[in-house]
């Protein structure tokens, strides 16, 4: 079996010196490379605070995406605790890779009231993202521990260029593109970065936009894509109206993707002066990197821009929309254990690693936004510019549900990728052309519905 795990040097991290492990059982944790050192410190602290904890701990560097894929491929050989992205929750449930957080009234050996504590301590959206009623469950259970509530995207911009007459032009797509045009030089063209390649996550945000009428932003997004899963994790039904209501989104994407001042990227490295990106759709994970590229004083962050498109093809009537987005969470899963003592300590360790103290550790170390309610009230967190911008955008964000893997691919292949690469849309896309694209998308995603 080909494993995607990238191991740290020298056997990674073991709480005890390897020579003195004395045949203790080793528990494995998979985390992103950014938080390996922080997790070492936290695990050491947990061991000090819990002298009855008799396990060695090994920490491997595994990305959230690979962690889920590896667990689904081989649960038994997978990590005892692992951090993963919310959109993988249904797949992990179906693979039997997640154990429910124990509840004192139902489990013989448990941390008393653990499930109730987790539910009380984290934001509502994070708890909703990890709640599931399995085929044999009497009620809904919480199946993972929230780690962050910052998995969304917003606008980065370089204040150096958005100044004077262009000071507020980052607030609209049209203003951004016009600014890019006006501040470009013969030597270097300035650009607006939005990801398309591997980026339906970003492009779908156009469909999730909210219409603005008389200056008021509508409460509901223009489109939705909701998928129903069975207890076994199959996608047995869909409710997707992108093809019915999404012509406006295609027109907005064509306007951006076919512009001479557009770059397909979501990488803060491209905000370097010699790369030319002066406005970028990106997320909190890249905030520190962006600061180093443009300088802390020059980096601005805001909700995503509005955009205006024609309602028909004769340009007589237009509508304006607030660009939407997905919001999501990083989560910590614990795989099922047959040994009650191991299950007990894994649950207790996972609870500790996702509590207020550890979430603040990660915020200070790498800027991850907490899901813990008390951590969110910390003065440093409340003052974080990136999290303020994300909070403003999240008013127009749809919590990321569970979608078939190929939904992401088909959206890019059938819609956003074509709007970027097909030069027939250089001067815009007609309503008829948009409908044709969306009909192709709708037919393709219909194949993703499975029989129970």
User: Using the 8-state DSSP alphabet, how is residue 172 labeled?
Assistant: B
What's the rounded Cα separation, in Å, for the pair 129 and 136?
20
Q: What does the chain come to in residues?
A: 452
Give which of 14, 44, 285, 268 is closest to 148, Cα–Cα: 285
- The whole-number pLDDT of residue 91 equals 86
Mean pLDDT of 240-249: 98
pLDDT of 424-434, one tens digit each?
999 899 999 99
- The whole-number pLDDT of residue 87 equals 85
pLDDT of 155-186, one tens digit each?
999 999 999 999 999 999 999 999 999 999 99
Q: How confident is the model at residue 198 (pLDDT cuts 50, 70, 90)?
A: confident
Catalogue all structural domains in the chain, each as residue range(s) with its CATH number.
18-98+100-142+330-370 (3.40.190.10), 153-327+400-446 (3.40.190.10)
| pLDDT greater than 90 at residue 121 | yes
| pLDDT greater than 70 at residue 110 | no
User: For residue 260, with 0-12 CB atoms within 10 Å meaning exposed, 13-18 middle and 19 or more buried, which class applies?
Assistant: exposed
User: For residue 423, with 0-12 CB atoms within 10 Å meaning exposed, 13-18 middle and 19 or more buried, which class applies?
Assistant: exposed
Residue holding tokens 């270097």? 188
pLDDT of 80-109, one tens digit each?
999 999 988 988 998 999 999 987 544 444
Q: How confident is the model at residue 112 (pLDDT cuts 50, 70, 90)?
A: low
Mean pLDDT of 334-345: 95
Structure tokens given for 149: 């509530």
E strands, 214-370, in order: 216-217, 225-229, 235-240, 262-263, 277-283, 299-302, 306-310, 318-322, 325-327, 330-334
| pLDDT greater than 60 at residue 111 | no
Alpha-carbon torsion, ordered 132, 133, 137, 141, to 10 deg: 30
Greater model confidence, 229 or 249 = 249
Q: How confident is the model at residue 221 (pLDDT cuts 50, 70, 90)?
A: very high
Do residues 177 and 192 lie in contact, with contact meaning Cβ atoms separated by under 8 Å?
yes
pLDDT of 344-365, one tens digit each?
999 999 999 999 999 999 999 9
Structure tokens given for 100: 């429910």
What value does the mean pLDDT of the chain take? 90
Of 154-168, 200-214, 229-243, 327-341, the range with the lowest mean pLDDT is 229-243
pLDDT of 396-417, one tens digit each?
999 888 898 899 999 999 999 9
pLDDT of 19-58, one tens digit each?
344 568 999 999 999 999 999 999 999 999 999 999 999 9
Start-to-end C-alpha separation, the chain:
29
Of 137-141, 192-196, 391-395, the range with the lowest mean pLDDT is 137-141
Of 64-78, 213-227, 397-411, the range with the lowest mean pLDDT is 397-411
Mean pLDDT of 282-288: 92
Give which of 117, 157, 99, 451 is closest to 304, Cα–Cα: 157
**β-strands 330-334, 325-327: how paired?**
unpaired
Residue 227 DSSP SS3:
strand
Mean pLDDT of 256-270: 96
- The Cβ of residue 447 has, within 10 Å, a number of other Cβ atoms equal to 10
Greater model confidence, 381 or 108 = 381
| pLDDT greater than 70 at residue 325 | yes
Provide the percentage of residues in the chain whose pLDDT is more than 70: 92
């Amino acid at each position: 079996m080909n494993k995607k795990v990238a191991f740290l040097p020298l056997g990674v991290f073991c709480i005890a010196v390897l020579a003195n492990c004395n045949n203790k059982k080793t528990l494995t944790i998979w985390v992103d490379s950014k938080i390996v050192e922080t997790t070492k410190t936290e695990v050491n602290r947990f061991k000090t605070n819990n002298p009855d904890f008799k396990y060695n701990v090994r920490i491997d560097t595994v990305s959230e995406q690979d962690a889920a894929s590896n667990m689904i491929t081989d649960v038994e050989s997978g990590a005892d605790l692992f951090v993963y992205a919310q959109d993988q929750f249904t797949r992990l449930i179906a693979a039997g890779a997640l154990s429910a957080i124990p509840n004192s009234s139902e489990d013989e050996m448990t941390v008393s009231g653990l499930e109730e504590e987790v539910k009380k301590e984290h934001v509502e959206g994070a708890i909703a993202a990890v709640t599931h009623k399995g085929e044999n469950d009497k009620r809904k259970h919480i199946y993972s521990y929230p780690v962050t509530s910052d998995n969304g995207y917003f606008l980065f911009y370089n204040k150096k260029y958005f100044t004077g007459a262009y000071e507020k032009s980052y607030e609209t797509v049209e203003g951004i593109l016009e600014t890019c045009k006006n501040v470009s030089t013969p030597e270097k063209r300035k650009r607006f970065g939005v990801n398309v390649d591997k980026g339906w996550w970003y492009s779908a945000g156009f469909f999730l936009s909210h219409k603005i009428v008389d200056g008021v932003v509508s409460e509901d997004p223009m489109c939705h894509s909701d998928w129903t899963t069975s207890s076994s994790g199959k996608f047995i039904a869909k409710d997707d109206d992108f093809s019915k209501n999404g012509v406006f989104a295609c027109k907005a994407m064509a306007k951006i993707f076919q512009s001479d001042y557009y770059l397909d990227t979501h990488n803060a490295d491209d905000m370097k002066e010699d790369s030319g990106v002066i406005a970028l759709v990106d997320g909190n994970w890249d905030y520190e990197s962006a600061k180093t590229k443009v300088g802390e004083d020059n980096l601005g962050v805001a909700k995503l821009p509005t955009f205006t498109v024609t309602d028909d093809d004769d340009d007589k009537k237009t509508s304006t929309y607030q660009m939407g987005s997905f919001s999501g969470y990083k989560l910590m899963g614990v795989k099922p254990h047959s040994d009650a003592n191991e299950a007990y300590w894994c649950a207790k360790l996972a609870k500790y690693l996702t509590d207020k103290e550890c979430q603040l550790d990660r915020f200070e170390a790498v800027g991850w936004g907490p899901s813990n309610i008390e951590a969110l009230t910390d003065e440093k967190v409340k003052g974080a510019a990136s999290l303020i911008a994300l909070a403003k955008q999240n008013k127009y964000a749809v919590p990321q549900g569970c979608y078939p893997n190929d939904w992401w691919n088909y959206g890019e292949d059938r819609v956003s990728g074509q709007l970027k690469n097909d030069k027939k849309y250089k001067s815009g896309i007609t309503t008829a052309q948009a409908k044709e694209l969306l009909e192709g998308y709708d037919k393709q995603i219909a194949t993703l519905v499975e029989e129970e």
